[in-house]
C-alpha cells in the first residue's frame, strides 16, 4: 500500500500531461479564433487529428534512414518524460527526486537534437533550413534557460522543482526584481522554444517563416502524430513549469487526502486556462518577427536572466 | 516585516529603472525609443514617490512631480514633435550590434554592483543598493550616448543618465530640494539648447547623423 498509492498518483500525473496537451493547444487555437471573430475548430479537434493521423499510412522518402523513423519516438519519449517530471497538480511525488530542472533541460535538449537530425536526414532544403534555424534559436534560448535555473537555484537553494515550488509558495520570498526578470526571460524562452508567434508561426506553411513546421514537413501518418503530440506536450510543459515556479498556489504535496489532489487539479486546470488565454491574446496582438531579428529577441532573455543573477547578488546582503 | 516590504518595493522599482534602460538600448526606432523613455521617467517617478513615503520626506514628492511632468510628459511630447518636424521618424539606426551593446550593458551593471558592494560594505543596504542601481542607470545612459549615431537618441541617452542621478539623489538622505530643482531646470535648459542645436545641425548638414560631422571635420575620408 505504501508503494502502490504514490505510484498511482505519479502515473496519474504522467497521463494527465498526455491527456491535457491536445486540449490545451485546441483551447489556444479556439481563443485566437474567437479573438479574430472566427468560430474556430472545436477544442477537441487536436484529438481527432491525432486519431486521423494514427490511422493513416506512413509515406517514407526513398532515402530516409533508420534515424528518420526512430526520431519521432525519441522526440516524443524525451518530451513526455520531461513533461511528466514537472509538478502539475501535486509536488513531492514519488519521482520528484528526479524532477530536477537541469535534467528537464537536458531531456528537452536531446529531443531537440533528434528533431534537428530528422530534419536534415532526408536532405530536402526545407528540412535543412528548419533545422539550422531551430539550432540557431536554441543556441541562445538554452543558455538563457540554464541561467534562469541558476537564478532560481540561488534563491531557493536547490534545482529540484518541488523544493523551488515550496520555497516560492512560502512567505519569505518577498517581492524581488530578480524573480520578475527571471519570469520575463522564461516567458521569452517559452515562446521561442515552442515556436509561437513572434519567433515562428505555428499555423502556416509559408517556407520563408517557418521553423518547426519545416523540420517535420517530410513526416506523415503516425510519425507526424508523434511529432505534433511532442510539440503540444512541450507547450504544456512550459506552462506547467511557469505555473509551478511562479504561481505555485493550489499545488498540493504528496501525502494529503484525495480531496487535496482534487483541489490541486482544479487549480492546475485554471492555471492552464489562464495561460492559454494569455498566450492566445499575446499571439493575436503581436506580429511575427523577421528571422534575423529573432536572435536579438532571444538574446534579451539571456540578458535578463544574467541581470537577474547579478541583481540577486545585490540583494544577498539582507 | 514592514521594513522588508519597504526594501523590496524600493528594490523592485530601482531594478525596474535599470530594466527600462536596457529596453532603451534594445529599441532601434525613434518613436519607440521616446515612448520607452517616457516609461523610464514614470518608473523614476514611482521610485522617488516611494522613497518620499518611506523616508517621510515631503519634498521628494515635489521631485517626483517634476520627474512626471517634465520627463514623462513634456519632453517626450516635444521629442515626438522634433522627430516629426525633422522627418526622421522612419530611420532605423544600426551602429553597434544590439546584442553586443546589451552585453556591454550587463558588464556595466556588474561593474557598478561590484564597485558599490566593495566601497560601502557597512552602509545602509537600502541606500547602497539604490546607489548601485543609480550608477548602472548612469553608465547605461553613457553607453546609449556613445553607441548611437543619431543626435536625438543621444539626447535621450543624456536624459536617462540624468534620471539615474535623480535616483542616486533620492536614495541618499538629506539632498536639499534647491539642488534637485536646479538640476531639473538645468536639464530642461540643456534640452532646449540641444533641441535648437538639432535644427542647426540639420540646416547645415541635412542630417542629424553625427557621422556627418565627423566626415565634415575630415576624420572619415
> Cβ contacts of residue B194 below 8 Å, gap of 6+?
B151, B155, B158
A143 reaches B (C-beta below 8 A): no
- Does the pLDDT of residue B1 top 50, yes or no? no
From A144's Cα to the closest Cα of chain B, the distance in A is 13
**What confidence tens digit (pLDDT) does each residue in A46-71 have?**
999 999 999 999 998 888 899 999 99
What pLDDT is stored for residue B36 in this prediction? Answer: 93
Alpha-carbon span A269 to A33, nearest angstrom: 21
What pLDDT is stored for residue A318 in this prediction? Answer: 43
Asked if the structure places residue B100 within a domain, the reply is: yes
Closest residue by Cα to residue A70 from A115, A123, A103: A115
Mean pLDDT of B185-204: 77
- Does the pLDDT of residue A286 top 80, yes or no? yes
- Does the pLDDT of residue A42 top 90, yes or no? yes
- Cell numbers given for A272: 492552464
What pLDDT is stored for residue B174 in this prediction? Answer: 61
Yes or no, beta carbons of B128 and A317 under 8 Å apart: yes
A295 reaches B (C-beta below 8 A): yes
What pLDDT is stored for residue B2 in this prediction? Answer: 55
Asked if the structure places residue B85 within a domain, the reply is: yes
Query: What domain range is B73 assigned to?
Result: 2-216
Asked if the structure places residue B221 within a domain, the reply is: no
- Does the pLDDT of residue A317 top 50, yes or no? no
Alpha-carbon span A64 to A122, nearest angstrom: 5
**What confidence tens digit (pLDDT) does each residue in A214-261 have?**
888 889 999 999 999 999 999 999 999 999 888 888 777 756 667 778
Asked if the structure places residue B159 within a domain, the reply is: yes
A125 reaches B (C-beta below 8 A): no
What pLDDT is stored for residue A185 in this prediction? Answer: 93
Yes or no, beta carbons of B4 and A299 under 8 Å apart: no
Asked if the structure places residue B12 within a domain, the reply is: yes
What pLDDT is stored for residue B209 in this prediction? Answer: 74
Yes or no, beta carbons of B105 and A317 under 8 Å apart: no
Mean pLDDT of A24-30: 94
Asked if the structure places residue B96 within a domain, the reply is: yes
Beta strand ranges found along A107-227 (DSSP E): none
pTM recorded for the entire structure:
0.85
Yes or no, beta carbons of A177 and B16 under 8 Å apart: yes
Best to test chain B binding among A314, A315, A317, A318 (most B CBs inside 10 Å):
A314
**What confidence tens digit (pLDDT) does each residue in B23-78 have?**
888 887 888 889 999 999 999 999 989 888 888 878 888 888 888 888 889 889 98
How would DSSP label each residue in A22-82?
HHHHHHHHHHHHHHTT-----TTHHHHHHHHHHHSPP---TT--HHHHHHHHHHHHHHHHH
Best to test chain A binding among B2, B5, B19 (most A CBs inside 10 Å):
B19
Q: How many domains does chain B have?
A: 1
Q: A257 by DSSP, 3-state: which?
A: coil
What pLDDT is stored for residue B173 in this prediction? Answer: 66
Yes or no, beta carbons of A300 and B129 under 8 Å apart: no
Of A174, A181, A306, the CB nearest to B8: A174
What pLDDT is stored for residue A1 in this prediction? Answer: 53
From A297's Cα to the closest Cα of chain B, the distance in A is 9
Yes or no, beta carbons of A306 and B113 under 8 Å apart: no
- Cell numbers given for B177: 530640494
Q: B219 by DSSP, 3-state: which?
A: coil
Yes or no, beta carbons of B7 and A318 under 8 Å apart: yes
Asked if the structure places residue B162 within a domain, the reply is: yes
What pLDDT is stored for residue A254 in this prediction? Answer: 59
- Does the pLDDT of residue B196 top 80, yes or no? no
**What confidence tens digit (pLDDT) does each residue in A133-190 have?**
999 999 999 999 999 999 999 888 888 888 888 888 876 666 677 888 899 999 999 9
A173 reaches B (C-beta below 8 A): no
Asked if the structure places residue B185 within a domain, the reply is: yes
Q: B165 by DSSP, 3-state: which?
A: helix
Of A303, A310, A315, the CB nearest to B11: A315
| A289 close to B96: Cβ distance less than 8 angstroms | no
What pLDDT is stored for residue A241 in this prediction? Answer: 92
- Cell numbers given for B15: 531594478
Name every chain B residue with its beta carbon within 8 A of the beta carbon of A178. 15
Name every chain B residue with its beta carbon within 8 A of the beta carbon of A306. 106
Q: To the nearest whole percent, how much of chain A has pLDDT over 70?
A: 93
Amino acid at each position: 500500500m505504501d508503494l502502490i498509492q504514490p505510484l498511482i498518483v505519479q502515473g496519474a500525473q504522467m497521463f494527465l500531461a498526455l491527456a491535457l496537451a491536445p486540449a490545451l493547444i485546441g483551447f489556444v487555437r479556439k481563443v485566437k479564433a474567437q479573438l479574430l471573430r472566427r468560430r474556430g475548430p472545436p477544442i477537441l479537434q487536436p484529438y481527432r487529428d491525432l486519431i486521423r493521423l494514427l490511422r493513416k499510412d506512413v509515406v517514407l522518402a526513398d532515402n530516409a534512414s533508420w534515424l528518420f523513423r526512430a526520431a519521432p519516438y525519441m522526440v516524443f519519449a524525451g518530451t513526455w518524460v520531461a513533461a511528466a517530471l514537472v509538478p502539475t497538480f501535486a509536488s513531492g511525488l514519488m519521482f520528484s527526486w528526479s524532477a530536477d530542472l537541469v535534467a528537464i533541460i537536458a531531456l528537452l535538449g536531446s529531443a531537440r537534437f533528434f528533431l534537428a537530425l530528422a530534419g536534415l536526414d532526408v536532405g530536402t532544403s526545407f528540412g535543412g533550413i528548419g533545422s539550422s534555424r531551430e539550432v540557431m534559436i536554441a543556441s541562445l534560448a538554452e543558455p538563457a534557460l540554464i541561467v534562469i535555473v541558476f537564478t532560481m537555484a540561488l534563491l531557493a537553494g536547490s534545482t529540484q522543482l518541488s523544493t523551488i515550488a515550496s520555497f516560492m509558495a512560502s512567505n519569505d520570498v518577498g517581492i524581488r526584481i530578480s524573480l520578475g526578470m527571471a519570469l520575463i526571460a522564461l516567458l521569452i524562452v517559452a515562446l521561442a522554444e515552442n515556436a509561437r508567434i513572434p519567433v515562428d508561426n505555428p499555423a502556416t506553411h509559408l517556407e520563408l517563416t517557418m521553423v518547426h513546421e519545416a523540420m517535420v514537413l517530410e513526416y506523415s501518418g503516425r510519425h507526424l502524430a508523434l511529432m505534433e503530440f511532442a510539440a503540444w506536450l512541450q507547450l504544456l510543459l512550459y506552462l506547467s513549469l511557469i505555473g509551478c515556479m511562479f504561481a505555485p498556489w493550489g499545488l498540493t504535496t504528496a501525502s494529503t487526502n484525495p480531496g487535496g489532489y482534487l483541489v490541486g487539479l482544479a487549480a492546475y486546470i485554471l492555471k492552464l486556462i489562464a495561460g492559454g488565454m494569455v498566450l492566445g491574446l499575446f499571439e493575436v496582438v503581436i506580429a511575427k518577427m523577421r528571422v534575423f531579428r529573432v536572435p536579438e529577441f532571444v538574446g534579451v532573455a539571456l540578458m535578463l536572466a544574467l541581470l537577474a543573477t547579478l541583481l540577486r547578488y545585490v540583494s544577498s546582503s539582507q | 516585516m514592514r521594513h522588508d516590504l519597504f526594501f523590496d518595493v524600493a528594490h523592485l522599482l530601482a531594478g525596474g529603472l535599470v530594466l527600462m534602460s536596457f529596453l532603451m538600448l534594445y529599441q532601434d526606432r525613434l518613436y519607440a525609443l521616446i515612448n520607452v523613455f517616457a516609461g523610464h521617467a514614470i518608473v523614476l517617478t514611482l521610485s522617488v514617490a516611494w522613497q518620499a513615503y518611506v523616508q517621510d520626506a515631503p519634498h521628494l514628492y515635489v521631485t517626483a512631480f517634476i520627474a512626471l511632468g517634465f520627463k514623462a510628459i513634456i519632453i517626450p511630447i516635444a521629442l515626438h514633435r522634433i522627430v516629426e518636424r525633422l522627418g526622421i521618424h522612419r530611420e532605423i539606426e544600426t551602429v553597434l550590434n544590439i546584442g553586443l551593446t546589451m552585453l556591454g550593458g550587463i558588464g556595466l551593471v556588474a561593474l557598478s554592483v561590484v564597485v558599490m558592494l566593495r566601497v560601502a560594505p557597512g552602509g545602509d543596504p537600502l541606500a547602497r543598493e539604490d546607489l548601485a542601481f543609480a550608477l548602472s542607470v548612469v553608465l547605461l545612459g553613457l553607453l546609449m550616448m556613445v553607441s548611437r549615431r543619431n543626435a536625438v537618441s543621444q539626447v535621450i541617452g543624456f536624459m536617462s543618465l540624468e534620471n539615474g542621478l535623480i535616483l542616486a539623489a533620492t536614495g541618499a538622505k538629506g539632498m536639499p530640494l534647491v539642488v534637485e530643482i536646479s538640476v531639473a531646470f538645468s536639464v530642461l535648459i540643456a534640452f532646449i539648447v540641444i533641441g535648437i542645436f538639432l535644427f542647426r545641425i540639420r540646416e547645415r548638414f541635412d542630417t542629424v547623423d553625427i557621422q556627418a560631422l565627423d566626415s565634415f571635420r575630415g576624420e572619415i575620408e
